[in-house]
Amino acid sequence: MRRLAILPLALLAACASGAPAAPGPGDGTTPRTAGNFRPTGAFGAYLAGRFAASEMDTAVAAEQFGRALAADPNNPELLQRAFLATLADGRDATALARRVLQHDPQALLATLDIVVEEAKSGRFDRAESRLRALPRQGAGQFLQPLLLAWSQVGRNQPEAALATLRPLTEGVRFRGTFALHAGLIADLAGRPAEADRFFRLALAEAGGQSLRLVEILAGFEARQGRADQARWLLAQFSAGSDDVAMVEAALAADLSRRTVRDAREGMAEALLGLAGALRQQEASEFALLLLRLALELRPEFGPATIMLADLLEGDRRYEQASAVLATVRPDSPYAAMAQLRAAVLLDRLDRTAEALAALENLASAHPNRPEPYARMGDILRARSRFAEAARAYDRAIARLGPPERRHWTLYYARGIAHERAKDWPQAERDFLTALDLSPDQPYVLNYLGYSWVEQGRELERARAMIERAVELRPNDGHIVDSLGWVLFKLGDHRAAVRWLERAVELEPRDAVINDHLGDAYWAVGRHAEARFQWRRALTLGPEPAEIPKIEAKLRDGLPVPPAAVAVAPPAAASGEPPAATR
Assess if residue 355 is contained within a domain: no
Q: Is the pLDDT of residue 14 over 60?
A: no
CATH number at residue 524: 1.25.40.10
Instruction: Inform me whether the pLDDT recorded for 510 exceeds 60.
Output: yes
User: For all residues of the chain together, what is the average pLDDT?
Assistant: 86
Region 99-122: mean pLDDT is: 93
Q: Note whether residue 390 is domain-resident.
A: no
Residue 38, pLDDT score: 56
Which residues have a Cβ under 8 Å from the Cβ of 492 and sit 6 or more positions away?
564, 565, 567, 573, 574
Percent over 90 (pLDDT), the chain: 65
Q: Tell me the C-alpha distance between 46 and 40, whole Å.
A: 10
Q: Please indicate, yes or no, if residue 530 is contained in any of the structural domains.
A: yes
Check whether 573 has a pLDDT greater than 50: no
Asked whether residue 13 carries a pLDDT value surpassing 60, the answer given is no
> Could you tell me which residue, 279 or 123, shows the higher pLDDT?
123
Kindly report, residue by residue over 326-353, the tens digit of the pLDDT: 999 998 999 999 999 999 999 999 999 9
Range of the domain at 495: 443-581
Q: Which residues of 273-297 are buried (b: 16+ CB within 10 A; e: fewer)?
A: bbbbbbbeeebbbbbbbbbbbbbbb
Instruction: Provide the pLDDT for residue 258.
Output: 87
What SS3 class is residue 492?
A: coil
Q: What is the DSSP letter of 577?
A: P
Q: Is the pLDDT of residue 422 over 90?
A: yes
DSSP-derived secondary structure for 508-567? TT-HHHHHHHHHHHHHTT-HHHHHHHHHHHHHT---GGGHHHHHHHHHH--PPPPPPP--
Task: Say whether pLDDT at 425 is over 70.
Answer: yes
- When mean pLDDT is compared across 135-144, 218-227, 359-368, the lowest value belongs to 135-144
4 or 396: which carries more pLDDT confidence?
396
Q: Residue 81: what pLDDT?
A: 92
pLDDT (mean) for 410-420: 97
pLDDT at 417 over 70: yes
Give the tens place of pLDDT for each residue, 174-205.
Answer: 889 999 999 999 999 999 999 999 999 998 88
Query: Please, which residues have CB within 8 angstroms of residue 229's CB and are 6 or more apart in sequence?
Result: 221
pLDDT band at 32 (very low <50, low <70, confident <90, very high): very low
Phi-psi category of residue 190: left, alpha or beta, with phi > 0 → left and psi -120 to 50 → alpha: left
- Domain total for the chain? 1
In a domain, 17, yes or no: no
Give the residue among 372, 362, 392 at the shortest CA–CA distance from 380: 392
Residue 315 placed within a domain:
no
Q: What pTM value is reported for the model?
A: 0.81
Instruction: Say how many C-beta atoms besides its own lie within 10 A of residue 224's C-beta.
Output: 15
What is the per-residue pLDDT for 560? 63
pLDDT tens digits, 200-253: 999 888 765 788 898 999 999 999 999 889 888 888 888 777 778 888 888 888
pLDDT of 57 above 50 = yes
The Cα 435–Cα 442 span in angstroms is: 10
Asked whether residue 508 is domain-assigned, the answer is yes
CA–CA distance, 552 with 546 (Å, rounded to integer): 10
Q: Does a structural domain hold residue 319? A: no
With b for 16 or more beta-carbon neighbours within 10 A and e for fewer, the 449-482 pattern comes to bbbbbeeeebbeebbbbbbbbbbebbebbbbbbb
Residue 487 lies in a domain: yes
CB burial string 420-429: b at 16+ within 10 A, e below: bbebeeebbe
